[in-house]
Amino acid sequence: MLRITSAQINPTIGDIAGNISQMLAAARHARDEQADLVVFPEMSLTAYYPGDLLDDTDFQVRVQTGLEQLKLATRETPHLFWVVGAPVRRSGVGKPFYNALLVLKNGELVLQYAKQLLPTYNIFDERRHFEPGPDLARVLRVGDVQIGLMICEDGWNDGAQDYAVNPFQRLADAAPDLVISINASPSNVGKREQRHSVFGQACARHKLPLLYVNQIGGHDQLVYDGASFALDAQGSVVFEAKRFEEDVTTLVFDPKTQSFTARDGVALPSVPREGLPTMEFYRRQIVLGLRDYARRCGFAKAVVGSSGGIDSALTLVLAAEALGANNVVGITMPSKFSSAGSVSDSVALCRNLGVTLVEHPIASIVAAFETGFGAAFGQPLKGIALENLQARVRGTTLMEYSNSFGHLLLTTGNKSEVSVGYCTLYGDTNGGLGLIGDLYKTEIFELCRHLNASAGRELIPFGIINKAPSAELAPGQKDSDSLPPYELLDGILKHLIEGDRLPPWEREQADAQLAQLRGSAEGHALIGKIQTMIARNEYKRRQAPPVLRLRGRAFGSGRQVPIAAVHYA
């Protein structure tokens, strides 16, 4: 029998001392539960992903010092193997580091394995700093159990579709009793099920059980959901750790039956095939992402411009859940074009949430700009320039508040609007983080209804959910004046932006919608118009704050498109 502690922790990038402290606490727990080894996530020493911090000389020294401190820490649990992840300096031609798995015990390095498959797609860029490890398997013997070791991406190529090397096959050739994979797998909708499918098929093919240990936490745009799991030799999921929470759990592995049980030997509870409902997944991912972003950047409070519209309403609800209602402030900034509901709906929403709402009218400020513009340039300020001025006055006011009171400003743009540039640079794009920038407008409505249903009350007033979307920057303005209906727009955007990264059912739906549109001249022209709008507004997205990634392809590091380019004929 082998006792293994899965240590699903929430390390902070660069906080090497704090990360070691987390690992030591988990190791003490493992020791107290008489575990033989404790397993931590990929790059657990530095947290994933340190990026160009790896180029910094001082950071390199801190990493090396941290490795020595980690070895010393293992002496407190002399009979326990620690499986940890860290960047390790290498010599010779190539990149300066390995993304390494280290096995430590009682102050000594027992084994080192270097990750072979270094992803450079979507949000990943590991080849920037790391050299691939040699094509060989590393196996650790603990008692009478042979454990094969791998790191994250090494297990994703058993179908041999993306790389020439297949570390899983190489490991299977070494005939271990169990495979352990350390991981930093960022979360997006459908990712949990994808992990289960990919690793389940590999385990079934090689008749090998596996323990998969993942990190959790929010790191800038990315959120890691944990959801560590164990698979039996038939590829069935027999254990799953908590999602979006730290979880240190000890399992017992029997090499004779190739099965896992709980620490006390009883059967593990069954693991549901389906994960969280999509809207609940969005909610929990955003809440953890904001909570960790604020904490790690030194913010205790947040501020949101409250327009009385659905986007700002959803942002306020999620911010209040993540940080506490007493730590969130809404600011309503009516202009001469604002409807009465823009203020009254904001009042009702903030009352429901227990959030402080401050009113700061901007009509006189906008009028002063109009007067100054006319005097300086000899013509009145009008049209789109006047509309955008209102958004920029609001953005400036929110930044004034952030600077004065130390609140994190949250942007409120959704993916549909940001995709086509229906936003004002240096206005409603101001801020430090976007919570809903990877949600299409149709999903915004759906998530709001879900939050109301979860609360069992009208948390977000129906008046906000049911009103026609409007920027309220001109008399009687509606989003539909400039954009096609969101149900239609979102299908086009999903096809153009995410494509193959859509879940299968969404891909089928989007493809069918596009095929129907291409059947008419008007539909074909609309697709071309949307393509052009996406391309022409890349410059806005490049200057916008990061948005929390929720879907397979989000704006930001996962979508690198040049600004100055000919995109479409």
Q: How far is CA 409 from CA 167, 331, 400, 539, in A?
A: 45, 11, 10, 21
How many other CB atoms sit within 10 Å of the CB of residue 233? 17
* Cα–Cα distance, 383 to 483 (Å, whole number): 17
Q: Give the three-class secondary structure for 476.
A: coil
Structure tokens, 52: 């160009």
Strands 229-231 and 433-434, sheet pairing: unpaired
Structure tokens, 178: 């169990």
How many other CB atoms sit within 10 Å of the CB of residue 143? 10
Q: Indicate which residue of 42, 126, 240, 498 is catalytic.
A: 42
Q: Give the three-class secondary structure for 128.
A: helix
* Cα–Cα distance, 25 to 344 (Å, whole number): 50
Structure tokens, 289: 């992402």
Cβ-contact 192, 227 below 8 angstroms: yes
Instruction: Name residue, tokens 């009171």.
Output: 405
Instruction: Name residue, tokens 């407008």.
Output: 441
Strands 145-151 and 178-183, sheet pairing: parallel
* Cα–Cα distance, 361 to 336 (Å, whole number): 9
* Cα–Cα distance, 447 to 132 (Å, whole number): 42
DSSP 213-226: EE-EEEETTEEEEB
Instruction: Name residue, tokens 């398997």.
Output: 137
- At residue 494's C-alpha, the angle toward residues 493 and 496, to 5°, is 60
* Cα–Cα distance, 193 to 154 (Å, whole number): 18
115 catalytic residue (yes or no): yes
Q: Give the three-class secondary structure for 185.
A: coil
* Cα–Cα distance, 39 to 8 (Å, whole number): 8
Structure tokens, 283: 């909610």
* Cα–Cα distance, 258 to 394 (Å, whole number): 61
Q: Indicate which residue of 126, 131, 152, 387 is catalytic.
A: 152
DSSP 231-275: E-TTS-EEEEPPBSS-EEEEEEEETTTTEEEETTSPPPPP--SS-
How many other CB atoms sit within 10 Å of the CB of residue 79? 11
Structure tokens, 225: 């959901």
Q: Indicate which residue of 105, 115, 415, 441 is catalytic.
A: 115
- Three-state secondary structure readout of 174-185: CCCCEEEEEECC
152 catalytic residue (yes or no): yes
First to last CA, the chain: 65
Catalytic site positions: 42, 115, 152
